[in-house]
Homo-oligomer: A and B are copies of this chain.
């Protein structure tokens, strides 16, 4: 608590008392006597201390708050915010910055990690990458690639992707395409364009945490729409849209992160209808759809939408090399024009060397060959994880049955919880991300996201064996009957 007892004011002065008080506090801050984060006395208290009217104190605090020197927090009092140095003369950042989010990361000693939704490093087609990237750096285009580029992206890649999307029936003549640093930046740019101010965003529940963070940080009110075995629940969506009129709706129709679930065709159509009817901007996060291991491909929402409500996000990161940050978005031209403005403010443009290399990777046919291999390996991994789940998980556990992608979702039987289980399996070298990490409303305490895309089948089996053993043991321990043989009272 700041000590203000020695402040002296002059009742005879022409300067009002509240202003004298505000000036005194300000000069204490400037002299470094008051530091960032220090709490000021409550108005009643300071009024008593200085023998002043309480409204004088309130007015002085109001003036200081107006100038940004202090900040009031309801129920906690007023604090020095800026214009300050801590006692030692160094800026006291911890006291003025927002708290850090809790760290989510793997501890040391993890040998099998189900925590990362990313491809396996040892499956990267390195020979092809090396050959093609050397072609790019040797090409006469190289100096142009290294020069400052366009916010819309490297023109040859942009043209290639747009032509491809048009020929696939995904983009129309009224659409444009822009390169982004992966889908993550696509989501971020969209949030910055559409939810500035207090807009509402409807997201899946459970939801990809990176999407949740983007819209939360942009200041959006989040409306969670439950995902069930057939994808986003459209009745719940319809109700939520009628009630909350969200500005944007984010849907991952194929192999949703974290559940792995695919949105069925009938629901795809209904979601587009709802978005059209209520004028909701429909954001289709289509990062996994090329990783279908079984079943028939479904049309994107963008293809089903003839009204231009939909912004389609895609990326090379999951299907090739995540370390090269190249994704793209397809949307009606007026939308892309605005998003390009936000992109330019964000980082001028995306890295051009990676764009040029990935273009060559796609044009040479190597991407398709890599995708074929990835799908074959993916099917093996998918079968391995489902078989291992069925074999090792305790009775009462449920799992989704994805047709592709990198993730699968387990629900543990009560009274088990994911966070408790995580602590135990980490001790045995296995890692995953617990349900609450994907929670925008329901806590998903019993949910586990199991990312199998980057692991070999034998790792998947071994990891799931450990997870299943730990879960079974914990379940048994908790199922023990309560000990009714009470100890004798201590006297």
* A interface, CB within 8 angstroms of B: 29-30, 36, 67-69, 82-85, 89-91, 93-94, 97-98, 100-101, 116, 118, 121-122, 124, 126, 129-130, 133-134, 137-138, 142-149, 174, 180-182, 184-185, 188, 192-193, 199-200, 210, 213-214, 217, 245, 247, 276-280, 306-309, 317, 321-325, 332, 334-335, 337-338, 341-342, 344-354, 357
In the complex, which residue of chain B has the Cβ closest to the Cβ of A348?
B184
Complex-state Cα separation, A455 to B349, whole angstroms: 23
Contacts of A307 in B (CB 8 A): 85, 89-91
Complex-state Cα separation, A279 to B80, whole angstroms: 11
Contacts of A332 in B (CB 8 A): 91, 93
Q: Please name 7 further chain A to chain B contacts, defined as beta carbons within 8 Å, in addition to the given A83-B245, A217-B345, sorted by A numbering.
A: A90-B306, A130-B137, A146-B321, A146-B324, A185-B347, A214-B345, A324-B351
Complex-state Cα separation, A228 to B36, whole angstroms: 33
**A–B pairs, 24, beta carbons within 8 Å:** A30-B277, A68-B200, A68-B245, A82-B247, A82-B278, A83-B278, A90-B307, A90-B308, A91-B308, A91-B309, A97-B334, A97-B335, A101-B341, A118-B147, A130-B138, A133-B133, A180-B347, A185-B346, A188-B345, A210-B345, A210-B348, A213-B344, A346-B346, A353-B357
B338, A100: Cβ atoms under 8 Å? yes
Complex-state Cα separation, A334 to B429, whole angstroms: 31
B323, A148: Cβ atoms under 8 Å? yes
Most chain B Cβ neighbours within 10 Å, of A67, A116, A334: A334
A94, B334: Cβ atoms under 8 Å? yes
